[in-house]
Structures are given as structure tokens and as C-alpha cells.
Amino acid sequence: MADPHIVSIDEIREAAERIRGVATRTPLLQWDETTWLKPESLQPVGAFKMRGAYNKIASLTSDERARGVVTYSSGNHAQAVARAARLLGTKAVICMPENAPRVKVDGVLRDGAEIVTTGNDSEERHRRALQLVDERGLVMVEPYDDPTIIAGQGTCGLEIVEDLPNVSSVLVPVSGGGLSAGVATAVKALVPAARVIGVEPELAADARDSLQRGELMTWSAEDTGRTMADGLRTNSLGPLPFEHLRRFLDGVVTVSEDEIADAMRRLAHRGRLVVEPSGAASMAAELSGRAPRGPDDGARVIVISGGNVDPELYRRILAG
């Protein structure tokens, strides 16, 4: 990518003002003496995606909003775009996979968006959304490969530093890379010595492979579809998030399906938080020891990215 737009801390601060009163400023909940949770599951649509989606649509011109917006998503970004579009008075069309969790489909429909069902490959969803841009004149709201989206998600990292100025490490899940890119950019701008570690399922570890190889690597939908963490099933990082992560992320660790399930149970029983598999990935890395701490790492934040879990899956996981 030639001369990528690397998001600045000023852009993240501008996004924080834009989303104020719409996205929730989620608290830091203390887990133990050295660990805090950032529960983005408490956002109005149950996930961090409200930050970026609202920042993007609010940044559009009135003419662009009059045309309507389109996106492609397995669920949480879909719900955020639907909600932001309704709040800002524009129509939304969402390309969703046929295996999207029902709880996320219902959330999109409640906010009045139109759903276009596609296959389960994220690139197929992307192609269909681009077709709708051409056919209907809609404005694309990318899930992660957009500087305005990254700046919006970066407000999560900004809040972490404002609430815990001595933060020494942050664990954040990685999918297309919007959240991890935004959080890493904000944290590194304000606390350069802090470590930011990305977390992926072992069954969908394209970001780990990409950062190790120094080039974007793609996993097939068949491979990533094996993880129950549906929000982390993207085939590849977005090119722009990849450029941010190469600069600001300190590494990626992977977690197993059993470790994700255990983290969901621990968050429910001890933390009293309902968390979806994708949202529990970072906690899985902490509880399993996959992201070991250094001797000076005494203030760690775990980003809990979402809580929109399928009820039947959740019952099975809690039953152990």
C-alpha cells in the first residue's frame, strides 16, 4: 500500500467527540489487583462496533446520507451500522452470511435495515456490497478497512489510557483489524511503553500469519468457519489495519476453542458478564497464560469486544 493513511491521535479524539452520548463510555472493571476488563459488550448494540459505525456515518455529507449506506458483516458491525443509520436518519442495507447468528440478524432487523443474505465467505459478502454500491448508489461503510472506522474504534484505546494512565499492556481481539488497529494506535500514541497484544482463535489465525510473514495472508472460509468465534472469522486483515498493526502491535497470540469457552464461563460466573466467543478471546489468552507478562506489567487491560452470543450456544458452553 502506497502512503497509507495512518490514523492520528487527533483523529481519534475527534471521533470521541463525535460519538459522545451515542456510544457508551464503557468502564474499566477490576478483575484482580493487576487486571482490568474493558466490557464493550455493554455498548448499545452489544459490541464495540458502534464506535466506528457511528463515527463513519456521522462523517458523511448530507447528500451521502440521503443515498443510504451498505455494508457486509457477520453480525456486530451489521447491527452497529443499522443502529447508526437509524439514529442519523438514513437507510441501511446489510450483506450478511447465511450462517450469521440469529441474535445478530434479529438485532439488524429491529433497527429497520434491509438484509441481503450471501454465502459464508467474507469476500463474497464484500463483492455483493460493492455491487449494491453500483446498482443503488449506496455509500459503503467498510467494517474495518477505513481510517474513519479505525479512528472510531480507537476511542476504546483512548478511554483505556484516560481511565488507567499507568496501563502497561492491553489484550485485544483481532479480526479484520479495525479494533486492534485503533486501540494499538491510541495506546501507543499516549503510552509508548505499553504493550498491545492481539488475540485470535487458533482456527482463524490469519493475522498472526500475516504479521509473521510481513504480507497479507488469507485463510479460506472453510478454515475460519471452524471457530465458534463468528466475529473473528474474516479471511484476512484489511490492508489499512495491517499497516497500523505492523507499526503499533507488539504481537499476536492464539487461543483454542476450549480456552474461549472456559473464558466465557469464567466471565459469566465471576465477572457477571454475558460475552460472545469473539469477545472472550482476549480473556482466554489471559486465563490460559498464552500472553505472559513481563516483570513490569502490573496494569493489564483485557478488551471484551462483544456480548451478542447465540442463546443455545451460550447454554451449552455454560453447562460445560
- Which residues form the catalytic set? 49, 305
Q: Are strands 195-201 and 35-39 parallel, antiparallel or unpaired?
A: unpaired
Question: Do 140 and 238 form a contact (C-beta atoms < 8 A)?
Answer: no
Grid cell in block for residue 204: 482463524
Distance of CA 76 to the CA centre of its chain: 8
Grid cell in block for residue 193: 511503553
287 phi/psi in degrees, rounded to 5: -70, -30
Question: How far apart are the C-alpha atoms of 313 and 319, rounded to whole Å?
Answer: 10
Question: How far apart are the C-alpha atoms of 143 and 98, rounded to whole Å?
Answer: 18
Grid cell in block for residue 18: 463525535
Nearest to 84 by CA among 100, 96, 68, 104: 68
251 phi/psi in degrees, rounded to 5: 155, 170
Classify each residue of 239-255 as buried b or exposed e, where b means 16 or more C-beta atoms within 10 Å of its C-beta: ebbbbbbeebbeebbbb
First and final CA of the chain: distance in angstroms? 45
Question: How far apart are the C-alpha atoms of 278 and 182, rounded to whole Å?
Answer: 17
Question: Do 178 and 149 form a contact (C-beta atoms < 8 A)?
Answer: yes
Residue 132 identity (one-letter amino acid): L
What is the greatest pairwise CA distance in the chain?
57
